[in-house]
Amino acid sequence: MFVGYARTSTVEQQAGYEAQLRDLKTQGCEKVFSEQVSSVNSNRPELERAIEFVREGDVLVVTRLDRLARSVGDLHRIVGRLEAKKVGLKILDMAIDTTSPTGRLLMNLVGSIAQFEREIMLARQREGIAKAKAEHKFKGRAPTARRKTSEVVSMHRAGKKPTEIAKAIGVGRSSVYRILAEAAA
């Protein structure tokens, strides 16, 4: 049985999410587990459910390697769990299928290259931020919620609940509570 797994980091990535679901169905996946959470977050409940669901002889199918794992270590842990259950892994965009020795070799090579690329990208990003800070051009991300302090306070005084305020102005509920606590102090 082919079992699919789809993931995007945010709910705003709807087109990519829908494309993954479509590709997995086209590939013949009878069951698809999907979620919209960051892979940096170690809590990926649907991936866990997919790994628990698969049985000997099944193949877990993903559209791209980065939808499944963020590092070589993470990839090896997932593949190890699948191998222990005698389950294969198929990565569509690379035509990798770990049910063969060649597929397992290619998966390990590609995983190492993907991690290398990510580490290089992060190093360049850190260098760019350091340079911008040295030139006083980088001040970090603007605090979105704090810019809306007056709006939060006035809505609260008008009788709105924190959850309603958060939804209305597009900030997190915890930000609303923090703003209200600071305003009361």
pLDDT in tens, 60-83: 999 998 888 877 788 889 989 999
Q: Which domain holds residue 109?
A: 2-116
- Indicate which residue of 9, 34, 39, 71 is catalytic: 9
Same domain flag for 88 and 156: no
**Is residue 27 within 8 Å of residue 61, measured between CB atoms?**
yes
| 140 dihedral zone (left: phi>0; alpha: psi -120 to 50; beta) | left
Run of H or E residues at 62: strand 59-62
Residue 135 lies in a domain: no
Residue 137 has a pLDDT of 85
Active-site residue flag, 9: yes
- CATH number for 99: 3.40.50.1390
pLDDT averaged over consecutive 10-residue blocks of the chain (185 residues)?
Answer: 91 84 94 84 86 96 88 85 94 89 85 83 91 85 79 91 88 88 82
Same domain flag for 30 and 105: yes
Residue 141 has a pLDDT of 72
- CATH number for 180: 1.10.10
Query: 140 CB contacts (<8 Å, ≥6 apart)?
Result: none
Distance, CA of 176 to CA of 178 (rounded, Å): 5
Same domain flag for 109 and 159: no
Residue 72 lies in a domain: yes
Same domain flag for 89 and 165: no
Residue 42 has a pLDDT of 64
pLDDT digits (tens, 9 = 90+) for 97-111: 988 889 888 888 887
Same domain flag for 42 and 107: yes
Residue 125 lies in a domain: no
pTM over 0.85: no
Same domain flag for 19 and 109: yes
Q: Under DSSP, is residue 96 helix (H, G, I), strand (E, B) or coil?
A: strand
Residue 60 has a pLDDT of 97
Domain count for the chain:
2
Residue 128 lies in a domain: no
Same domain flag for 104 and 158: no
